[in-house]
Amino acid sequence: MTSFIKRSNDSAIKIDIVSDVSCPWCAVGYNELNNAISQFEGEVDIAWLPLEINPDMSKEGQDVTSYLSQKYGMTSEQQQQNMAMIESRGHAAGFEFKPMKDRHVYNSFDCHCLLHIAKEYDLQTPLKLALLSLYFQRGGDISDRELLSNAAIDVGLPSDAIAKAFNDEQLRQDVRVVMQQIRSAGVTSVPTLIVNNQYAIAGAQGEAGYLDILQQVAAMEK
């Protein structure tokens, strides 16, 4: 795999999570992974990489019913089953979703720009969790810059960094380039874990599945 992130702690298992704030399985998968890490004896170093699942989504967004029907061809019954599965997996992992039927789908590009600059302040994971909570637990508009700014300030991101994320065209182009690199490396879905720049694991694997992956990687790296 292409090396996207360089870190100083060479002893830790390095996991780059390709993710989108608008993806409910990313919230589920991270909580399952975090639960697995709490049972794992080794060190794990997490970073976040951007991949928009709805890059052409308009500013006003789209209600979840029409979105799922249009993008995935889901019937009403299939949507209900899918939402129930997500809510159940989230509950089991410790993440309580606002009812999925009330979800509205928004453009998430500004989220990725904030997360990109948050890396410089070692605030990626706190910000990612704040954004996931804003969207999936409080129903917030993740394309609203005021709401995004408040979430970023709450985790400690400086106001000048927030302004740069929204207004610096070079930074925003850098995010687009990273997303293209990720797609070129063969990653097309979220969540996808890139482990030690070698192994790509797509989809939320469950707590036991993630723990098994961590243990296998640790054994191979000895």
- Separation CA 115–CA 126 (nearest Å): 10
Q: Which residue has the tokens 């954004």?
A: 131
Q: What percent of the chain has pLDDT over 90?
A: 93
User: pLDDT, tens digit, for every residue of 94-148?
Assistant: 999 999 999 999 999 999 999 999 999 999 999 999 999 999 999 999 999 999 9
CA proximity to 76, closest of 167, 6, 21, 84: 84
The tokens describing 162, both together, are 């927030």
Q: pTM, whole model, 2 decimals?
A: 0.93
How high is the pLDDT of residue 10? 65
* Range 14-36 burial, b when 16+ CB lie within 10 A, else e: bbbbbbbbbbbbbbbbbbbbbbb
User: Which pLDDT band, with edges at 50, 70 and 90, does 6 fall under?
Assistant: very low
Is the model's pLDDT at 2 over the cut of 90? no
From its phi and psi, is residue 45 left (phi > 0), alpha (psi between -120 and 50) or beta? beta
How high is the pLDDT of residue 221? 79
Pairing of strands 192-195, 44-50: unpaired
How high is the pLDDT of residue 59? 84
- Separation CA 211–CA 117 (nearest Å): 30
